[in-house]
Structure 1
C-alpha cells in the first residue's frame, strides 16, 4: 500500500486551507468535526485573515508550517486551487482533498484546469481526492476531511467495519445517514468526486488492506480503467473482504445521466454484471438491499449450505417466509422426527415441521424460544435461522425477556447466521444492536440477506490455468500478411487452428480442377464456399453450397461461386473453400468475443446458428476463463438441456465445448489489443466423446 494513499486515509497531520472559525461554512466544518470527534493528530488551519482559529495557530500559507503535513484539505474558490496546489508541491505534502467545484463537471475550461492538476499531482507523487468532492472520514481515528452536514449534530456509529466509497456525495450522505439510523457504522466514508487521481478502484484497494474494514460497500456510476477496477476486486477477494456494489446507469437514460455526472465511461451494463459475478461482487439494486447485505456480510458468518430454519410467532408469516426462502434458492428442510417429538412435548399446539410456529405462547413461556431453537439448530441439519417476533420490538416489557434466549443461541451456534425480524423503535434497535444481534423489520429483506450470505459462501476462486499454444504471440496481421481488418472465413480459421481451436478440414482452391482434387482428398460430401474479403456474410449472396456429392458438381459449383463474386461490385475473388460436410448428429453453438471499451475482451457462449439472434440466450465472462468457468457459463444457459442426455438420447460433448470456450478465451486475451470481434458460428458439438468442430468463423481486427 502506498504511504501517500495512507496519508490520505490515515493522516497524522492535516492542514485546512481556507479554514474558517464559522463551523457552518465549508472551510469551518472539517475543523469543527476534527475537534468535536477527537482527532489525535496535528491540525493546521491556513487562512491569511486569521492568526488563530479555535485556539489553534492559523498560518498565512501552507509553506509557513514548519512540520511535515500528511494531508491538505483545500476549501477555496476554484480560481485559487491551482496556485494553492503549487504551494502544496513546494511543501512536499503527500495527499490533498479538494472540495472546490468548477472543474471537469462544468465544461471544457474546467476540464483543462483539472487536467493541469492531475498532471502536477502525478509529476510530484501527490495523491488527490477530488476535485468537486465531499471528502472522506476515518471513524476510529476521528479523522474528518469533509464538509458534509451529516456529522453536524450526530456522531457516526463507532466500531463499524464497513468501508464505504461512493462516486456521488449526495448518495453517500443519504446511505450513511440511513445506516446510522439503523445502528450500522462505517469504518471509512469516501466520496471520490471528479476522480482526477484517486478513484473507486484505489479506494477499494486501500480498504481491502485495511485492518478496520471487513466489508466494502460501493456506489458506482462507471470507470475509465476497467483493468484497474478488476485488480481491486481481485485484491479484495484475496483478502476475503466481500464487496457490495450499487451500479447505476442500466438504461440508456441512466447511462447518459451517469456520464454527465462523473465523466466516467459507463460501458455496457451486461458487461458490468458479468464482471461483478466473475469476481465475487454482490450487486444490490436498492438502497435497502445495499445496506442490508453490507450489514449481513459484516456481522454474520458465511452460510456453508442453504438449509434455513424459520421460527415464528405467526403461522401466516411462516408461510410467507417459506415461499420466499424457496424462491431465493434456499431450502427449508423438515425438522427431524425426533426433534419434532421433543418440541411437541414442550408445546403440543406448536407447529414443529419448519417453519416452526411457537404461537403467542412465546411471550408467556420464557424459555420456549430457546428450547425450540436449541433443539432444531442443535440437530445439525440447518445452516441459518430467521426468528420472526412480530411487534415485540415495540414493547418495552417484551423484548428483554426474549433477549437472553437470542444471545444464548448466538453464542451456542456462532457458525450459524441468525436474523431477528421484529418491528423496532430507536431504543429497541440500539438494545439489539449493542447486544450484537442482526435485526431487520422486514421478513423479505431478512431472506435476501441470507440468500446473499449463501451466494458469498459459494463464490469460488477461479484462477484460470494458462493455455499453451504452439503459435507465436505475434501480430495477426504480421503473421498472415493481412492488410484488411475483416478476415475471410478461410484466413480466420487458419489463425484459430494455430491456437488449438478445432476447425473443419478444408482447403482453398484457385481452380475448378484443384477444387475437385481437394474434394477427393477430404471425402464426399463437401461444402463449397466462395471466398471474398469484401463479402463476409456468404449465405445472403448464395456463396455456400451444401452436400456437393462428386467432382462434376464441385467443378460446376466452383464456376458458379466464382461468377457471383466477379459480378459483385468491388468484390475480389480469393478462391473457393472446399470443406468437409458435417453430417454427424450435433448441436449448433455460438462462441464469440466482443471488445468492451471499459473491460476489454469478453468471451460469450450461446445457442448457435440463427438462434443466437432469436433467443439471445448467452453467457458472458471477462477473458480468459478456465475450463471450470466455461462449464459454469454453459450451465447458465436456458438452452443447456439440449446438450444433456434426454429421453434415451445420449448427451453431446459438453466437455469439448468447455475446452473450446477456454482455449478461445486465451486466444482473444493473447491478442486483446488487435481483436475487435470474433465469431465461431456454428461450432458443432458432436455426441459425447466425439468433440467439437468450428464450421464457420469470422475475425474482425481493430
Structure 2
C-alpha cells in the first residue's frame, strides 16, 4: 500500500528522473571530462528539456549560453549536476538551495570515501538536503540515465543505445560505479533496454531503497536489478521490496559483502546465530528477491523475463544430442531443486516414432546425433516434449557448428510458439558457440553455454513464481493478540534499565501477555514453599534456579527434573542454591522456580534478535541441546506474516522430524506458526527487546499445541 507520505517521497525523486531543465555547475568544453560529457550527450541525443551550462570562464559552451552562476539563469531549474572540486561542492549546493532546485546529482568525489574531513563535509550535504527537502544523488556518483526522455545526467553513458530489442525493461541500481558500468555495457549488448540506470555513490541523501521504490512504482520498468553492498535504512528497503512484490516486478540483486570478519557476542542462542549476511538472506526470502551470483546468471534471467515466460513450476524436461550432457544436466537440475519429470506415455510414444532405436525417450531425452542427418528432427522432438502437460520448462542441449543455423532456427521457432520457458545450451568450438549465442540472442531466444547458470536461473525464477502465487492464494490469518497485551508488557518492563536481563519467570509473564502458552509454575524462596508449590502443581515437577545472572541454567547445575516427593523437592531446593552459588557467587538469586513436568514432544527454539539495519528479527529452529550443535534455524524480519512463519518451518533441515518419523505422529505446526506470529508481534510492539529465547518450546502432536518450557529476555 502506497501511503500519502510514501507517495510524496516518491514524487520528490521526479526532478532527478523527469526534469524539464538541467543546469551543470562546472560545465566543461572537454567531452572526455565528467563535467563535459553530459552537456554533449544531453544536447546531441534529444533531451527535450532545457540545458544550462554554468561556468564563469565561458560565454558559450557547445552552442549554448553559459552562465557565470546558477543565480544568473533566468528560468526555473529542476535538476542540477555539480561537477566542481570537493572544496567547492557545499558552496554550489547552497546555490542550488537558494535557487529552489529540487534535485541535485553530485559527481564530485573526495568525501566520506577518502577521509574524516571528507566525511564531515558529506554530513553537511546530508543536513542541507534534509533541511531544504532538496533530493541529492551522490556525492561520488556516476549519475542517472533514463531512456524515455534521453536523460543522460551521468558521465559514463555517452550515447543512446542503438539496438534495443526490449524497450522499457530493466531498471538498474548500482552501489559500485565501475561494476555498474560493466553491467550496463554487457546488458546493452544483448539489446535489453534500460528504463533507468542509477549509480548511487555515497548516498548522502538518496539511498538504494529510494531508487528501488521509484522503479517499483514506475510504469515503464518491468524488472529491477541491482548491485548491493548494504542498506542504511532497513524498513525503507523492506517497503520498497513490498512495492515491487505488490506490482509483481521481479527484483534481481547481486549482494556483495557476505562474509564479515567479525561476529558479536550474544547472551542468547538466537542472538549468537543472527548475523548480517543471515539477515539479508532472510529478507530476500521473505520479500521474494531473486539473489544472483554472477553476470551470466543475471543475463540468463533477463533473457527469460523479457517475454514473461517465467517457469510456472519446477518440472523440467531435458533434450540432448548427447546422453552424457543429458545426464550432467539432470544432475544439475536435481542439485538446484528442479524435478526431472517423468514424461507421459503419449509423449514417449510420439518421440519413439521419430527417433532411432538406440535413442532414449526417457527424461533426459537422448535424441543422439540423428539431428545432424535428419533436418527438422530437433524441432519436432522439442515441440512434442514442451507440449507435455507434465512439463513446466525445457532445456535443450546440442552441438553447434560455425555458420550452421539450422538447429538454431528450429529452436527459435519452438521458443516463439510456446508459453513455457525454453533454454538452449549450445556447445562446440568457442567461435561457433559465440556466433550461435549472438544469433539466438538477436532473436530473443534464451541461450547460454554454462550449465550451472542456466539451471540456477530457471530454478530461481520458478521459486519466484511460486512465491508470488503463494502470496496470492494464502488464506492463513494472523492470530489475535489480547487487547491488553501491550499495556501488560509495558507495565512489566516498567523502568528496567538498559541492558536488563529477565530471568525465566519474568520472561514468561511477557509471553503469557501475548497469548503464548507457558508452563504452570510458582516461584519459591524456601524449601517449604517449593514443596507447597509442587503439591499445588502436581507431581512430578521440574525445579530451576531463578536468577537474571544465570541465564543458561543447565551449565550451572541449576535444573532438576522429575522431583516426585516433598522430600525430593526440599533437598532439591537446597542443592540448586548450592550449585548456583558455586557457579556464580555474586549472582542475584530470586529463588527456585517449581513448574509442571511437560509430556514428551519435539523441542524447538523461537527467539528474537535485533539487527542494526532491519531491527527486530524472529528465529525458529531445532531447540534444546541441539540448537548450538546443529544451528538448524530459519530467520525472518519483523513483521512476520503467517505464510512467512509456515515457510520458516519448511526451511528447516529438521522439518521431517516435525512431519513425524518412524511411526511418530506429526507435530502441531499450526501451533508453532501461531507462536512465531505472537513472538513477532511482541518484537514489533517492543523493539527494546534485544534478545529473546524460548528454548525449548515443546511442540506436541498435531492438534495438541505447544508450550514454552523456558525463556530468557535481554533488553537493549
Tell me, yes or no, whether TM beats 0.5: yes
2:586 to 551, 563, 570: 570
* Aligned mates of 1:285, 1:624 — CA distance in 2: 28
* Aligned mates of 2:353, 2:576 — CA distance in 1: 86
Instruction: Provide the residue aligned with 1:131 in structure 2.
Output: 139
Instruction: Provide the residue aligned with 1:579 in structure 2.
Output: 595
Where do 1:493-642 residues align within 5 Å? 493-562=508-577, 569-582=585-598, 584-642=599-657
Instruction: Provide the residue aligned with 1:263 in structure 2.
Output: none
Q: Report if aligned partners of 1:299, 1:438 keep a CA contact under 8 Å in 2.
A: no
Flag the 1:334–1:502 CA change in 2: closer, same or farther, 3 A.
closer
Instruction: Provide the residue aligned with 1:379 in structure 2.
Output: 388
Instruction: Provide the residue aligned with 2:708 in structure 1.
Output: 694
1:63 to 41, 52, 71: 71
- Asked if 1:409 corresponds to 2:414, the answer is yes
Q: Report if aligned partners of 1:139, 1:156 keep a CA contact under 8 Å in 2.
A: no
Where do 1:194-593 residues align within 5 Å? 194-253=202-261, 268-348=276-356, 350-392=359-401, 394-395=402-403, 398-399=404-405, 401-402=406-407, 404-413=409-418, 415-422=419-426, 429-459=437-467, 460-461=470-471, 465=478, 467-474=480-487, 476=489, 478-479=491-492, 481=494, 483=496, 485-562=500-577, 569-582=585-598, 584-593=599-608
Instruction: Provide the residue aligned with 1:676 in structure 2.
Output: 690
Q: Which range is displaced more, 271-280 or 353-362?
A: 353-362
Q: Which range is displaced more, 224-233 or 358-367?
A: 358-367
Q: Report if aligned partners of 1:183, 1:429 keep a CA contact under 8 Å in 2.
A: no
Q: Secondary structure at the match of 1:613?
A: helix
Q: Report if aligned partners of 1:586, 1:687 keep a CA contact under 8 Å in 2.
A: yes
Q: Report if aligned partners of 1:175, 1:291 keep a CA contact under 8 Å in 2.
A: no
* Aligned mates of 1:480, 1:357 — CA distance in 2: 68
How far has the Cα of 1:498 moved from its partner? 1.2
Q: Report if aligned partners of 2:352, 2:361 keep a CA contact under 8 Å in 1.
A: yes
Deviations 1:165-220 (A, max 9, x none): 01110110122222234444422211100001111100111111122211111111
* Aligned mates of 2:173, 2:111 — CA distance in 1: 21
How far has the Cα of 1:221 moved from its partner? 0.8
* Aligned mates of 2:707, 2:300 — CA distance in 1: 48
Deviations 1:77-105 (A, max 9, x none): 01111111111112211101000011111
Q: Report if aligned partners of 1:62, 1:87 keep a CA contact under 8 Å in 2.
A: yes
Q: Report if aligned partners of 1:486, 1:698 keep a CA contact under 8 Å in 2.
A: yes
- Asked if 1:186 corresponds to 2:199, the answer is no
Q: Which range is displaced more, 587-596 or 637-646?
A: 637-646
Q: Report if aligned partners of 2:304, 2:446 keep a CA contact under 8 Å in 1.
A: yes
Q: Report if aligned partners of 2:229, 2:256 keep a CA contact under 8 Å in 1.
A: yes
How far has the Cα of 1:26 moved from its partner? 1.5
Q: Which runs of 5+ in 1 are unaligned?
A: 257-265
Q: Secondary structure at the match of 1:223?
A: coil
How far has the Cα of 1:404 moved from its partner? 4.8
Flag the 1:140–1:402 CA change in 2: closer, same or farther, 3 A.
farther
RMSD, matched Cα: 2.7
- Asked if 1:25 corresponds to 2:33, the answer is yes
Deviations 1:457-480 (A, max 9, x none): 111337973632243324846335
Flag the 1:299–1:421 CA change in 2: closer, same or farther, 3 A.
farther
Flag the 1:44–1:654 CA change in 2: closer, same or farther, 3 A.
same
* Aligned mates of 2:391, 2:202 — CA distance in 1: 47
Q: Secondary structure at the match of 1:140?
A: coil
Q: Secondary structure at the match of 2:184?
A: helix
Q: Which range is displaced more, 317-326 or 217-226?
A: 317-326
- Asked if 1:110 corresponds to 2:118, the answer is yes
Q: Secondary structure at the match of 2:351?
A: helix
Flag the 1:431–1:506 CA change in 2: closer, same or farther, 3 A.
same
2:57 to 49, 52, 63: 49
Q: Report if aligned partners of 2:175, 2:208 keep a CA contact under 8 Å in 1.
A: yes
Flag the 1:91–1:503 CA change in 2: closer, same or farther, 3 A.
same
Deviations 1:607-647 (A, max 9, x none): 21221011111111112324432222122222222223222
* Aligned mates of 1:190, 1:35 — CA distance in 2: 20
* Aligned mates of 2:30, 2:433 — CA distance in 1: 35
* Aligned mates of 2:356, 2:562 — CA distance in 1: 76
* Aligned mates of 1:254, 1:588 — CA distance in 2: 30
Q: Which runs of 5+ in 2 are unaligned?
A: 1-6, 265-273
Q: Which range is displaced more, 318-327 or 330-339?
A: 330-339
* Aligned mates of 1:219, 1:318 — CA distance in 2: 34
Instruction: Provide the residue aligned with 1:260 in structure 2.
Output: none
Instruction: Provide the residue aligned with 2:179 in structure 1.
Output: 171
Deviations 1:212-236 (A, max 9, x none): 2111111111111111111111111
Q: Which range is displaced more, 676-685 or 439-448?
A: 439-448
* Aligned mates of 1:538, 1:452 — CA distance in 2: 44
How far has the Cα of 1:273 moved from its partner? 0.6
Instruction: Provide the residue aligned with 1:262 in structure 2.
Output: none
Q: Secondary structure at the match of 1:601?
A: strand
* Aligned mates of 1:520, 1:313 — CA distance in 2: 77
